[in-house]
Amino acid sequence: MGDKVLKVLKENTMLIVLVAVVLFFNFTTKGMMLQPSQFNALITQNAYVYVLATGMLMCMLTGGNIDLSCGSFVCLVGVIGAKVMVEKQMPVIVGVLVMLIVGVIYGALLGAIIAYVNIPPWIATLAGFLALRGWGVALMNGASNISPLPVSFSTAFTGKLNDLLGGPVIGGVQYNMTSIVVGIIISIVAVFLLLNGRATKLKKGYQADSLLSVVVKCVVITAAIMLFAYKLSLAGGIPFALLWVAAIVVIYSFITSMTDFGRYFYTIGGNAEATRLSGIDTKKIMFIAYLNMAVLTVVSAFLTMGRFQAANSTAGTNYEMDAISACVVGGVSAYGGSGTVFGMIIGATLIGVINLGMSLMGIDANWQKVVKGVVLLGAVVFEILNNKKNAVK
């Protein structure tokens, strides 16, 4: 029994760390951390982390490969989009399409250089890190931002879902009913999936988690979702940013865990040569990983621009760091082959909570950089040491 509890604890280290960090910040900010508006801020301010980390996850799975250029690309593609929408006065849809096309072109170029020419990813993307921001800033002709973006663009990425159900006002506070209902539905779906997954495993005779751990998981997840739903309902409802993040996370969670194609990313990271010899086009997978990364970077540029309602010359600074950290903190191996979307979400949330908590505490931006560096290094070291122990067993 004791062993079992220990095992459950070990498997969910980062979840426990997340809860501890939230409580720590809540204590040091005298309860500000758990205010409804902070839940809203956590999502809207860190939406880009979730989106970029999803793309980074796919790259890292193929063998610890990263993309250092994504932050600079957020800047460049934002400037291009803003030029189209603001300076050329084109409709929003044209701007969005242009940005996506630029993303596909860059992704294809990067993917080709990495997968087919065999340039080490960190060099290819380091060049992009430098060149793309330079180019983006140069295109702005000395302005520090291009604004204002069309209202419909900003709203699509930063607005809030209208309360379709007309929530009640209790004690002078407006509750958003839609948010609560969506929370309940997601909770039910999550519990059903977990229980169903266990039942299928048992039926097929696979090893499954103990009933206790599944029940604990259900309770924790439901509690977390409902807490979020409740707080968001007090803060004016579900932000659109959350819908974008949720859509991306669900799609990639499905791809990585349910499709053959998704499994290829893991097998390449596990053993590229064996994967190739078993007839899988490893170059194509690498190509797609980076193409996909560029497209998701464009999506995170949408979210970033929407939030600031402008394209900034400093947009995307250090984003690559946040995305890589989110993955590594979420248990994605720095050598590839293991990691899950769920883990990445925990990692991204932790990074987001640290960002938010430090700003609330009024910690100097420079110390924030130091803390982020230390968190990244600490997470990798933890992951490597942890795996070493497991390997010895």
Q: Among 22, 42, 79, 113, which residue sits at the site for another protein (rule: CB under 8 A)? A: 113
Task: Print the binding letters for residues 240-279 with another protein: x by CB under 8 A, - otherwise.
Answer: ----------------------------------------
Of residues 52-111, those binding another protein (CB under 8 A): 64, 66, 68
Q: Does position 9 bind another protein by CB under 8 A?
A: no
Count of residues touching another protein (by CB under 8 A): 45
Q: Among 131, 185, 188, 211, which residue sits at the site for another protein (rule: CB under 8 A)? A: 131
Q: Among 143, 200, 367, 386, which residue sits at the site for another protein (rule: CB under 8 A)? A: 367
* Burial class (CB within 10 angstroms; exposed 0-12, middle 13-18, buried 19+) of 166: exposed
State the minimum distance, in angstroms, from the CB of residue 386 to another protein: 12
Q: Among 291, 334, 344, 351, which residue sits at the site for another protein (rule: CB under 8 A)? A: 334
State the minimum distance, in angstroms, from the CB of residue 70 to another protein: 13
Residue 215, H or E segment = helix 211-234
Residue 228, H or E segment = helix 211-234
List Cβ neighbours of 219 (8 Å cut-off, separation of 6 or more): none
52 within 8 A of 323, measured Cβ to Cβ: yes
* Burial class (CB within 10 angstroms; exposed 0-12, middle 13-18, buried 19+) of 2: exposed
Q: Does position 377 bind another protein by CB under 8 A?
A: yes
Helix (H/G/I), strand (E/B), else coil: 188 = helix
Q: Does position 151 bind another protein by CB under 8 A?
A: no
Q: Which stretch binds another protein (CB under 8 A): 188-196, 200-208, 262-270, 316-324?
A: 316-324
C-alpha pair distances (Å), 56 with each of 71, 170, 186, 253, 353: 12, 43, 26, 14, 20
319 within 8 A of 51, measured Cβ to Cβ: no
Distance in angstroms (rounded) separating the CA atoms of residues 31 and 223? 19
C-alpha pair distances (Å), 148 with each of 86, 153, 306, 309, 311: 7, 10, 10, 6, 9
Q: Among 55, 81, 128, 339, which residue sits at the site for another protein (rule: CB under 8 A)? A: 128
149 within 8 A of 310, measured Cβ to Cβ: yes
State the minimum distance, in angstroms, from the CB of residue 281 to another protein: 19
Q: Among 17, 90, 184, 380, which residue sits at the site for another protein (rule: CB under 8 A)? A: 380
Give the nearer residue to another protein in terms of CB position, either 55 or 306: 55
Q: Which residues bind another protein (CB under 8 A)?
A: 64, 66, 68, 113, 117-120, 122-124, 126-135, 137-138, 318, 321, 324, 328, 334-335, 364-370, 372-374, 376-377, 380-381, 384-385
